[in-house]
Structure 1
Amino acid sequence: MTSQTTTQQNYIHTLLKTHFGFDSFRPNQQEIIENVLTGNNTLAIMPTGGGKSLCFQLPALAFEGTTIVISPLIALMKDQVDALNANGINAAYYNSSQLPEVQEAVLNNLTTSQLKLLYVAPESVWNLVHYFQDIEISLIAIDEAHCISAWGHDFRPAYTQLNRLQKEFPGTPIIALTATADRATQDDIVIQLGMDGAQRYVSSFDRPNLYLDVRPGQQRMQQILQFLKEKEEQSGIIYCLSRKSTQSVAEKLIAKGFKAEAYHAGIEAEERSRIQDDFINDRTPIIVATIAFGMGIDKSNVRWVIHYNMPKNIEGYYQEIGRSGRDGLPAQGLMFYSFADVIMLRKFAEGTPTEAFQLAKLDRMQQFAEALSCRRKALLNYFGEHKTQDCGNCDICKSPPQYIDGTVIAQKICSAVARLQEQEAMGMVIDVLRGSQNAQVFEKGYQKLKTFGTAREIPWKDLQQYVIQLLNQGVLEIWFHEKGRLVLTPTAKEILFDGKKVQLADLIQPVIDVVKKKATSKKRKDIFEKLRALRTKLASEAGVPAYVIFSDASLQDMEQKLPRSISDFAKISGVGRAKLEKYADVFLQVIAKHLDAVENKVATHERSFQLLLEGHSVTEISEKRGIAENTVYSHFLKLYEQGHKIDLFQFITSEEISTVQKAKIALQNPDSLKSYFEYLNEETPYWKIKYGLVLAQK
């Protein structure tokens, strides 16, 4: 490692702590940032909550000039700008929702080089190009980059114009970021943006803090009501396929005493904005919404997501459940599944330009819902992250079906895929294995393959289920962008050549016990609630969401570490320089009072004495405990009068004692301390008068 590399790494770590309050990077963040800082184009695939934003926000601080961030939603822009400003970073957004005078102020700050980051929608970027030409653009970040691809799940036409950026700013590095992109979508993003040679970074899609649960769709409302009884005031989202369902579900929840609101595109824009703000600011804990809700909202303390209906593809499902547990604390994703959902979703796809592609992905979503093996393994394998170990944190792992030794079946299936040169889709693979006498098989000469008819004893539907299990276990992959052909993974090759054993769910046995174990929720301690109440108060005063002040993860870190000084508070996760200056004092006071009342279980005057013995000054004790210095001095006097060995002479001189004694004589033994205070020209504090009167008798 060169000295230059070491210096750069030290610098970016300093920026990380100073501006964002973190001591270390999450997986892949440092590598991505270093690649951006070298001026290279970058494609970053990182899961929701994995820290994508930092990958362009930190380089923006390191570079001279302004970073342009292209972002698809106003809510996303405002949320990130609020968070950046809270961290002492100059950032703004520009979009059509702003008043002309606000837009003018933003552009003035831009052209006078006062902004480190400017957020703009893809539809607006070309209206501002002439402004960009007059300033130094250090970096272009394209967030939610999957929107540029027809293979992506949220295709947005305005994104297709972004390929002009390379021509307009040929020397400026571009970073494209998304949470959900399979292999086909990744390739398409690079091609569409003209980012040839871009370095790709694909982070783990694993979110181990999320409990994954899929249940039959019968009696959904009863199951939801039972689920929510255990969630108290936790924030969560319920996704429905139709506007009518959002209204119906919300009304039923309200009737049962829950604070909930519906959200969909049919509601007036102003009202939608109000509903979203109430959710972000913890005034409304439950939102029942269509999938339009939540994209880009960096609300870190969403504890659960429910899918009232099955999503249309795994990318959407993964993105939506990823809106919970972004702070790394335990969260749950619950999905209901029924065949009626499949029928409805198939109708939505019919007649669209990408109908075949959408239907193939819908089939894969249905296969995930019907999975008989670890759900997390199936989810990760879908995105090309091959895991062989079960997660232990999903409904299948908690209540597994009966398994059989499926090694021979798996070998036959993998062998067929290999002999078909990995060029055929699932239906043809099954036909070959069963020795089907259809025209397509004979036209291609597949009846001559050694694997033809080797699994004819297994019914077609059962063999299909075994293939699906192998897909979910990461033994096979479907390449949707290449006519849905099945391909082998490294695990498949271990099964074929290295004797790796495979377990498959026995299709004859009962599959899954639908009775779910009740999730146990850790009861929050008093201190967490006190910290959360303070956070809510500060957020209300600042007009920002609560998590902009501190995330739940930061509050939990405070709860665990119970910092007692400014230096201790600086070590809390998420505390950077700006937040240390703004919030340390008030949070330390709450923690100090809690320590007095709950944790230490000692008298308040004894707590002050403990801190004195630890070497703290009276001023420090006052700040730590959130009490007046006069009160601290009275604690010491009380202990002295109770016979404790405490040296009060360290706080008052013999001359000051003499002055108080002379005042006593002159005033002829007055009963009121106020008389002493006034006689001494209001220059001697009350506590010192008390000390002088007591010590004069010694």
Structure 2
Amino acid sequence: MEIEKSLYDNLQEFFGFDTFKGDQEAIITNILNKKDTFVIMPTGGGKSICYQLPALMSEGTAIVISPLIALMKNQVDQLRAFGGRESIAHFLNSSLTKGEITKVKADVSSGKTKLLYVAPESLTKEDNVAFLQTVNISFVAVDEAHCISEWGHDFRPEYRKIRTIINEVGDNIPIIALTATATPKVQSDIRKNLQMTDATLFKSSFNRSNLYYEVRPKKNVVKEIVKFIKNNPGKTGIIYCLSRKKVEEIAEILNINGIKALPYHAGLDAKTRAETQDKFLMEDVQVIVATIAFGMGIDKPDVRYVIHHDIPKSMEGYYQETGRAGRDGGEGHCLAFYSKKDVDKLLKFMKDKPVSEREIGTQILKEVVDYSESSVCRRKQILHYFGEKFDETGCNNMCDNCRSSKTYFDAQEDLIKLLTFIKEEGDKFDDQHIMNVFMGQNNQPISAYKHDEHKFFGSGKDKGYNYWNSLILQAELSDFVKKDIDHYGLLMLTDEGRKYLENPYNIKYILNREMEAGDEEDGDEPSQGSGTLDVNLLKMLKDLRKKVAKQKSLPPFVIFQDPSLDEMCIHYPITMEELKRIHGVGAGKALKFGAPFLELIKKYVEENNIERAQDFVVKGTANKSALKVSIIQNIDRKIALDDIAHAKGISYEELLKEVESIVNSGTKLNINYFIDEMIDKVRQDEVYDYFREAEDDSIDKALQELGEEDYTYEDIQLMRIKFISEFGN
């Protein structure tokens, strides 16, 4: 066969490979035969060769539509390297100058260019449409085709216009649509919208057997991340966060803790982003901390872990992002941190969206919640989501749920009730409604359908939400029920479910583990509050603080505050450097008061054979250091505190907290110029005398003692700042 021979010759010549992977050969042959082609192939499966090779072998220019400028650049560079000449591939997008656009169009017109990458926004421009009408187009490749669907994880309205533009450009142009993630619903949307209902479908398995999936409750998340990375020395990874602010913050913390990391998000200029990608590819940095925009088209085969600091918005997003790990078939650890607070935050973001968009977004997010909270094999859940059957024994313990001990329950009786309810009441209700029926939770929809009078109403009240959630999720995984594609979330009885009702049998399901309260936010000092507090040491440190306070004629809280002592009893600092890292200590206080405390802790550690996990004392981020420096400079210039707050866009209360934190860490600040304006001398002296004798620094106690009619909370706070600054620092 001529086509076959030239296929392999070209594969060897352009890409240096001897064999095709998976369906690549059949896909390429289909395109070369001018047939519409639909490719669903997971990340790392070799999607790009599916359109690059036929483009290089066909007459004319192939148009590749892609939403990602980084991916375009990456692929164009690779093709130029393979093809040996610059004109072989070009991209057309908003990053080009007028001169560069003219050069691209000249190369395409002269037939030198085999692949032209176009952003969907550029495709819709009139002059580009007019230009493409003059070009001999071999076929159009629509990459990231899931962007067409509102049910996809990355919907882009411009993608909806692609078919119209292709029709304007020419007749009978073959199309290849490619995506790494598509649920049955999204597949159907892509076919309809691109008018390619007769396209040949090539769908690879979504199973990535080398990836290990794990979800942890979001507690001490920064400490957990630092610990994980330090336990994986020399390996590269990606950390995904939902906000740019969090990306910057985490990258900074990692660097402070000796881990080479760089931030990556859309707020950085193109040059910085390109340099960051290059540094990651060249292994000059170990970790990229990114928003979801990163990684698309970054072909680094040996990413060893992908960490989700925040739970992703969709299973497609999660699958695609975890798919960056282990693309060479080697180790890939996918770790996600889950917290109800993150889910609430994402739901809040959706509040302002149109109703239909909000409903879709909520349903998509619910899938992520179910996945995170479930105790069933993670791999089975992921593959089921993408319409693929999987037996969990094939997971080979490559997920945390398969490695954990499980609690099973007999599901037969309640499963029959569940399926009977759906059969009798019709496919009109989502899982939440059905759970409310069984748990006897009455609300407007329940009473509207008279379900508060149903024979099953309240019959499973004693079993609780977690039980019913586990049952419904696994009834779905067993294919007894499915979610209605067009009315997402409504449960339908399947043929399997009907068969089970006719011929029920004993069945055991797994009870979801109650997720620990993974809602602890990272503070600015992530090391605080982690580990176990050593109460014996705490008592000794408090006695020492009292003694030092007596010697210096100061109240104990001026030496070190309680949270600082607590943290010393978790991390056992024994050097001046380690002490400075303790929350609320800082260089000034460490040098002034630290020596006897370090001596006591060192002796205590030796006598009690304590192993100090010093690697994992996570140094706090300096993410507020710029603000703090600016506040100190403004106070030195004697600018009123309320004016500083206004200029910094924070409230007066927040500013006082910042000033207090600066002073508590041992920096001396003179705010007399402001206090003298606010509080008369007599009252200043009265508060000063109070703090000189006080056992602790509680403002509430001071107000009780001094009289709330004479002082405000902020008056006392200002005087406490002055007192600690003058006496403690």
Find out whether 1:250 has 2:251 as its counterpart.
Answer: yes
The residue that corresponds to 2:10 in the other structure is: 15
Partner AA of 1:370 in structure 2: E
Q: In structure 1, how many angstroms separate the alpha carbons of the residues matched to 2:310 and 2:144?
A: 24
Kept in 2, the 8 Å contact 1:71–1:119? The answer is yes
Q: In structure 1, how many angstroms separate the alpha carbons of the residues matched to 2:10 and 2:27?
A: 15
Kept in 2, the 8 Å contact 1:80–1:298? The answer is no
The residue that corresponds to 1:525 in the other structure is: none
The residue that corresponds to 1:594 in the other structure is: none
Find out whether 1:97 has 2:95 as its counterpart.
Answer: yes
How far does residue 379 in structure 1 lie from its aligned partner after superposition? 0.8
Kept in 2, the 8 Å contact 1:426–1:485? The answer is yes
What SS class does the counterpart of residue 428 from structure 2 fall into?
Answer: coil
Aligned pair partner of 1:34 in 29, 32, 40: 29
Kept in 1, the 8 Å contact 2:152–2:182? The answer is yes
Kept in 2, the 8 Å contact 1:357–1:480? The answer is no
The residue that corresponds to 1:466 in the other structure is: 471
Residues 279 and 476 (structure 1 numbering): CA distance in 2 closer, same or farther, change over 3 Å?
A: farther
Kept in 1, the 8 Å contact 2:374–2:470? The answer is no
What SS class does the counterpart of residue 212 from structure 2 fall into?
Answer: strand
Cα deviation code 1:446-499 (max 9, x no counterpart): 689887777565334521232134445655433364141123457646654565
Superposed counterparts of 1:256-271, under 5 Å: 256-271=257-272
Residues 69 and 429 (structure 1 numbering): CA distance in 2 closer, same or farther, change over 3 Å?
A: same
Superposed counterparts of 1:102-181, under 5 Å: 102-125=100-123, 126=125, 127-164=127-164, 165-181=166-182
Superposed counterparts of 1:333-412, under 5 Å: 333-353=334-354, 354-390=357-393, 391=395, 392-412=397-417
Cα deviation code 1:321-374 (max 9, x no counterpart): 112222222211110011111111111111112111111211221111111110
Residues 300 and 490 (structure 1 numbering): CA distance in 2 closer, same or farther, change over 3 Å?
A: farther
Residues 400 and 461 (structure 1 numbering): CA distance in 2 closer, same or farther, change over 3 Å?
A: closer
Residues 500 and 102 (structure 1 numbering): CA distance in 2 closer, same or farther, change over 3 Å?
A: farther
Q: In structure 2, how many angstroms separate the alpha carbons of the residues matched to 1:298 and 1:219?
A: 32
Kept in 2, the 8 Å contact 1:151–1:481? The answer is no
How far does residue 259 in structure 1 lie from its aligned partner after superposition? 0.6
What SS class does the counterpart of residue 467 from structure 1 fall into?
Answer: helix
The residue that corresponds to 1:84 in the other structure is: 79
Find out whether 1:68 has 2:67 as its counterpart.
Answer: no
Kept in 1, the 8 Å contact 2:40–2:180? The answer is yes
- TM-score norm. by structure 2 comes to 0.64
Partner AA of 1:422 in structure 2: D
Kept in 2, the 8 Å contact 1:382–1:474? The answer is no
How far does residue 307 in structure 1 lie from its aligned partner after superposition? 0.3
Q: In structure 2, how many angstroms separate the alpha carbons of the residues matched to 1:407 and 1:455?
A: 14
Residues 78 and 252 (structure 1 numbering): CA distance in 2 closer, same or farther, change over 3 Å?
A: same
Cα deviation code 1:597-624 (max 9, x no counterpart): xxxxxxxxxxxxxxxxxxxxxxxxxxxx
Q: In structure 2, how many angstroms separate the alpha carbons of the residues matched to 1:488 and 1:202?
A: 26
Partner AA of 1:358 in structure 2: G
Kept in 2, the 8 Å contact 1:76–1:298? The answer is no
Q: In structure 1, how many angstroms separate the alpha carbons of the residues matched to 2:78 and 2:414?
A: 53
How far does residue 312 in structure 1 lie from its aligned partner after superposition? 1.3
The residue that corresponds to 2:583 in the other structure is: none
Kept in 1, the 8 Å contact 2:466–2:514? The answer is no
What SS class does the counterpart of residue 295 from structure 2 fall into?
Answer: coil
Partner AA of 1:317 in structure 2: Y
Residues 491 and 48 (structure 1 numbering): CA distance in 2 closer, same or farther, change over 3 Å?
A: farther
Kept in 1, the 8 Å contact 2:363–2:488? The answer is no
Kept in 1, the 8 Å contact 2:470–2:510? The answer is no
- Dislocated runs of 4+, deviation >6 Å: 435-439, 445-454, 509-512
The residue that corresponds to 1:314 in the other structure is: 315
Superposed counterparts of 1:168-567, under 5 Å: 168-353=169-354, 354-390=357-393, 391=395, 392-433=397-438, 440=445, 444=449, 455=460, 458-471=463-476, 475-479=480-484, 481-488=486-493, 492=497, 495-496=500-501, 502-506=507-511
Partner AA of 1:215 in structure 2: R
What SS class does the counterpart of residue 327 from structure 1 fall into?
Answer: coil
Kept in 2, the 8 Å contact 1:387–1:474? The answer is no
Q: In structure 2, how many angstroms separate the alpha carbons of the residues matched to 1:288 and 1:244?
A: 11
Q: In structure 2, how many angstroms separate the alpha carbons of the residues matched to 1:193 and 1:167?
A: 14
Cα deviation code 1:358-410 (max 9, x no counterpart): 11211221111111110010111111112232412111112232323434433
What RMSD in Å do the two structures reach over aligned CA positions? 2.9
How far does residue 209 in structure 1 lie from its aligned partner after superposition? 1.4
How far does residue 191 in structure 1 lie from its aligned partner after superposition? 2.2
Residues 190 and 506 (structure 1 numbering): CA distance in 2 closer, same or farther, change over 3 Å?
A: closer
Q: In structure 1, how many angstroms separate the alpha carbons of the residues matched to 2:436 and 2:470?
A: 14
Residues 93 and 365 (structure 1 numbering): CA distance in 2 closer, same or farther, change over 3 Å?
A: same
Cα deviation code 1:631-659 (max 9, x no counterpart): xxxxxxxxxxxxxxxxxxxxxxxxxxxxx
Kept in 2, the 8 Å contact 1:142–1:176? The answer is yes
Partner AA of 1:221 in structure 2: V
Residues 437 and 263 (structure 1 numbering): CA distance in 2 closer, same or farther, change over 3 Å?
A: closer
Kept in 2, the 8 Å contact 1:379–1:472? The answer is no
Q: In structure 2, how many angstroms separate the alpha carbons of the residues matched to 1:320 and 1:413?
A: 35
- TM-score norm. by structure 1 comes to 0.67
State how many pairs are aligned: 508
Q: In structure 2, how many angstroms separate the alpha carbons of the residues matched to 1:21 and 1:413?
A: 56
What SS class does the counterpart of residue 40 from structure 1 fall into?
Answer: coil
What SS class does the counterpart of residue 47 from structure 2 fall into?
Answer: coil
Q: In structure 2, how many angstroms separate the alpha carbons of the residues matched to 1:188 and 1:155?
A: 11
Cα deviation code 1:65-101 (max 9, x no counterpart): 1111011111101111222223227322222223444
Find out whether 1:58 has 2:56 as its counterpart.
Answer: no
What SS class does the counterpart of residue 190 from structure 1 fall into?
Answer: helix
Kept in 2, the 8 Å contact 1:388–1:473? The answer is no
Residues 121 and 414 (structure 1 numbering): CA distance in 2 closer, same or farther, change over 3 Å?
A: same
How far does residue 223 in structure 1 lie from its aligned partner after superposition? 1.5
How far does residue 248 in structure 1 lie from its aligned partner after superposition? 1.6
For structure 1, the 5+ residue unaligned runs are 1-5, 515-698
